[in-house]
Amino acid sequence: MEKYRFDIVVAGGGLSGTTAAIAAARCGRSVALVERTDTLGGMATLALVSPMQTFHAPRGQVVRGIGQEIVSRLEARNASMGHIPDPIGFVETLTPFDPAALECLLAEMCREAGVALFLRHRMTDIIPGEDGRIAGIVAEAPDGSAEFRAAAFVDASGNGEITFASGAPMEMDSGHQPMSLMFMLGGARPEEIIAYQKSHPEEFHMTADMSVIDRGYVAVSGFFTAVREGIAAGEFTIPRDRLLFFHTMRPDCFLINTTRITGIAGLTLDELAAARETGMEQVRQVAAFMKKRIPGFQDSRIAQVAREVGVRETRRLLGRYILNENELIYSANFDDCIAKGAYPLDIHRQNSSGITTLELKEKLF
């Protein structure tokens, strides 16, 4: 077994874990980033979850730091449009980006900061230390196992792998949010989508400022009638009441976020394999439905399917304090605050075709 020692070990190379590793290394710490796949970026790259949402609250920008640095560096490479108003009106701004460019940039920033990357290393166990602390973790790689010891650990695994293995209290709702398999349709004609939105605004959930869609970026939450007709005709069997899709950095390509995979937890490899099988069936159905019924997609084709299913919710840590929904939507302040966000409370339910949303309100706390 290979054995390593660092000041800090970060488990999980998604956006959260990668930025945590970069930040720690820039502070002069020796840092290992242990990631189960062969790439960085997590859901943003592996699952094609795009665009980023959102760097802005109603009062202005609240996410800066390394997150903004990533966007600025992508903009300099023509791999992001930067922050633009959300045509759907769900959040203040969207940040479109190229997933492949993000993957390359994150690896570059890790190298610049001196982060030691351990890709294709899946955490399998912890090494208990004294006084209930974690002394290390064990990870399996294709060529054998490795032991990582450190003074501190960051669990950015998504499923709380270190947290769960350490025996900390966690929960997972039986009604956890469904998964989605993102995919890209190419060969679309955005001008036809825009024309239809302008002539049928009642078919969409969108911002009151119609000038936003004249900027050339298209985001759609709607086509409610077409979906109802597809359901009645047996062409659309996915438990969704609408289509949701976003423009990409390619003018004729759109990322489709419409599949809904229910009844599978998404924790184990077997569950993820089953979820992908279901997701692929839904991808084919949605692509055919859009080609037949949605303006601008008559000549579309499947250009890419995400490498991994997008998982919305698994285990949650029962921490010393649990944020409640009112504190979230009314922007509560805390003396020990370490981060701020601006995304609304957005719940996709297992037994419903719609979405429950609680939008951010003006500050009361």
* Of 242, 250, 191, residue with least CA distance to 220: 242
Q: What is the mean pLDDT of residues 6-31?
A: 97
Assess contact for 89 and 204: CB atoms under 8 A: no
Assess contact for 109 and 17: CB atoms under 8 A: no
pLDDT attached to residue 364: 42
Question: Each residue of 245-298: pLDDT tens digit?
Answer: 999 999 999 999 999 999 898 888 999 999 999 999 999 999 999 999 999 999
pLDDT attached to residue 365: 41
Assess contact for 325 and 345: CB atoms under 8 A: yes
Distance in angstroms (rounded) separating the CA atoms of residues 177 and 314: 8
Three-state secondary-structure class, residue 18:
helix
pLDDT attached to residue 208: 60
The residue ranking higher by pLDDT, 27 or 363, is 27
Element spanning 56, H or E: strand 56-57
pLDDT attached to residue 331: 81
Where in the chain is CATH 3.50.50.60?
Answer: 2-50+97-168
pLDDT attached to residue 229: 96
**Is the overall model pTM greater than 0.85, yes or no?**
yes
Instruction: List CB contacts of 158: < 8 A, sequence separation 6 or more.
Output: 12, 14, 42, 311, 314
Burial of 130 (0-12, 13-18, 19+ CB in 10 A): exposed
CATH of 2-50+97-168, one of 3.50.50.60, 3.40.50.1820, 3.30.70.260, 3.40.50.300: 3.50.50.60
Q: In angstroms, what is the C-alpha Rg of the chain?
A: 21
